[in-house]
Amino acid sequence: MHSEARPLDLTHLDDDARLTVELRTVAAGARRRAGRDGDRQIDTAHLLHSLLETDPRARAVCDAGSGQVARVLGYLVQRSIGYGMEWRGSVEDSGALPVIAGRAAPGWSPSAAAAMRTAVLAAQRRGRIQADGVDLLTALAADPESRAVEVLRTAGLDVSRYLDEGPVAS
């Protein structure tokens, strides 16, 4: 249990056993996407984009038969050519999820870092060793001012249902 008590080090996620392989892949994909987009930090929209492309279970929970995931991905793909341009050069920090003082994560927006940490804590509260994509989706939805929630709402999705069905609401 000692390894579970240590803080999540967002700069070394590749071998963190508290994350499923899929969630580690999501984080790596978000890092690459931020770099390609010319962004200094991974934000919640990068995480959402990578999550929906990588994790079929999280994609299914997100969509829940609505057929809107394709629309969400469309907005996310357009990000580099216009949608979300007001985000460029700004730091995402809604303040909705607690960011632990003194644990800034280089290359991560405060909101994205808080979402990853919240996903791990949610899995632990539910008695699971590893956080997965649904934990992350729920953590992203828990921050109503995040870029990820903005994208989901713009696509017409009700993010409150993720909180009702997801791992944080226990």
Q: Express each pLDDT in 83-141 by its tens digit.
A: 454 555 555 554 545 544 445 578 899 999 999 999 999 999 999 999 999 999 999 99
Say which residue, 38 or 27, is predicted with more confidence.
27
> What CATH number is attached to the domain comprising 53?
1.10.1780.10
Burial of 161 (0-12, 13-18, 19+ CB in 10 A): middle
Inside any domain, residue 11: no
Residues of the domain holding 132: 18-165
In 43-92, alpha helices (H): 44-54, 56-63, 69-78
Q: Give me the pLDDT at residue 169, please.
A: 37
Inside any domain, residue 2: no
- Specify the range with the lowest mean pLDDT, choosing from 20-34, 63-77, 128-142, 143-157: 63-77
Inside any domain, residue 121: yes
